[in-house]
Amino acid sequence: MPVLSDTERKGCKNMLGIMSRGDILSLSDTVTNKMIAVENITEAVEAILSYTKDTEELLKRKKVHRDVIFKYLAKEGVVMPPNSEKHQLVKRTLEFWSTGKALDYQTPAVETSLSLRPAESVSVSSEAGYSPGFDHLALARQFCQWFFQLLNSQNPSLRQPPKDWGPQHFWEDVRLRLFSSAVGQQMEEFHGSELTSLRLLALARDERLLLSPNLDPPGLKVLSSPHGLVLVAVAGTIHRDDVCLGVYEQVFGLIRSPLEQNSWKIKFVNLKIKGQDALGGAEELASPALTCSSSELQLLCR
């Protein structure tokens, strides 16, 4: 019988810890063909790990629901679009266990600063505005991948070393506007790289929030101005531990640094958070989409 690697065994065990008691017991019966009687969850988990032929087979079991895999990946710092199908989550989990890298399957990550190679050929939609010689959508996806991995790494619930967060990623005159409708209507505003950095840091480190962006349309838009300002708008879901709290929309204004080639810093951030009680239904939570139009975003470019 094939034996799971230490990484696979640990990953499966952590994922089983997210599942309900009933699903674990049922999964144990399925995996062991009801040949092993278990008396508690600990024995059930051990039976599942011992009699699993391979991890892909286990992940594809009906009792291992899509939401369980998604929550597991989020806890491990692996960013996936909220509307990912189960087979995509299974594939990404297997890749994560084989490489140990918490990278998004669509976009390369950037460790400490955002940089982008100029595209060999540029195709810009009519709504994207001015094209300075690079792929706007690639920049938007790469930025979101970098930013949310960086911010989420500050969350202590992930139990991973925090990455290099700080005011160095923002322009000194950056502005942050934080709108929240989780408990009533609230608006906070912060100016300067230090205060902006600290307030965003508090979301992950102190409030233990995980932000999972939807990197596919209609969850992602990008516009640019002739003066070099690039707007990146993204929608996603907000989690704490294994609970989905609601959705968010975030708009970033990015300006290229003249001192560092292909390096970008954040000029402003607008973050709108909406709790589950304020949502229109389960569909909005499953596949968050941007509510702001391209014309509304263009006003921010002026």
Strand partners, 170: 266
Q: Report the alpha-carbon distance of residue 128 to residue 119 in Å, rounded.
A: 16
Q: Domain of 154: which CATH number?
A: 3.10.450.50
Which of 52, 67, 99 is a domain's end point? 99
pLDDT by residue (tens digit) across 64-100? 998 889 888 877 777 676 667 899 999 999 988 987 6
| 72 occurs within a structural domain | yes
Composition of the chain by helix, strand, coil, percent to 5:
40, 25, 40
Which of 44, 68, 99 is a domain's end point? 99
Q: Report the alpha-carbon distance of residue 73 to residue 212 in Å, rounded.
A: 10
**φ, ψ for residue 156, nearest 5 deg:** -65, -20
Residue type, 44: A
Residue 115 has pLDDT above 60, yes or no: no
Strand partners, 191: 175
For the chain, give the mean pLDDT.
80
- The pLDDT of residue 71 is 83
Residue type, 105: Y
201 plus 267 within the same structural domain = yes
158 plus 292 within the same structural domain = yes
Which of 7, 59, 6 lies closest to 31 in space, CA to CA?
59
- The pLDDT of residue 285 is 60
Percentage of the chain exceeding pLDDT 90:
43
Binned at pLDDT 50, 70 and 90, residue 228 comes out as: confident
- The pLDDT of residue 218 is 85
| 199 occurs within a structural domain | yes
24 plus 67 within the same structural domain = yes
Which of 35, 65, 99 is a domain's end point? 99
Specify the DSSP element, H or E, that contains 280: none
195 plus 270 within the same structural domain = yes
Structural domain of residue 283, as residue ranges?
Answer: 114-300
Q: Residues 196-220: what's their mean pLDDT?
A: 91
Q: 16, 59 in Cβ contact below 8 A? A: no
Binned at pLDDT 50, 70 and 90, residue 280 comes out as: low
Residue 112 has pLDDT above 50, yes or no: no
260 plus 126 within the same structural domain = yes
Residue 168 has pLDDT above 80, yes or no: yes
- Higher-pLDDT residue of 119, 198: 198
**φ, ψ for residue 179, nearest 5 deg:** -105, 135
Quote the tokens at residue 246.
């609601």
46 plus 180 within the same structural domain = no
**φ, ψ for residue 109, nearest 5 deg:** -90, 160
Binned at pLDDT 50, 70 and 90, residue 110 comes out as: very low
Residue 209 has pLDDT above 80, yes or no: yes
Binned at pLDDT 50, 70 and 90, residue 53 comes out as: confident
- The pLDDT of residue 120 is 27
> Which of 68-72, 141-145, 206-210, 229-233 has the weakest average pLDDT?
68-72
Burial-class residue 195 by CB neighbours within 10 Å (0-12, 13-18, 19+).
middle
pLDDT by residue (tens digit) across 125-141? 223 333 445 577 888 98
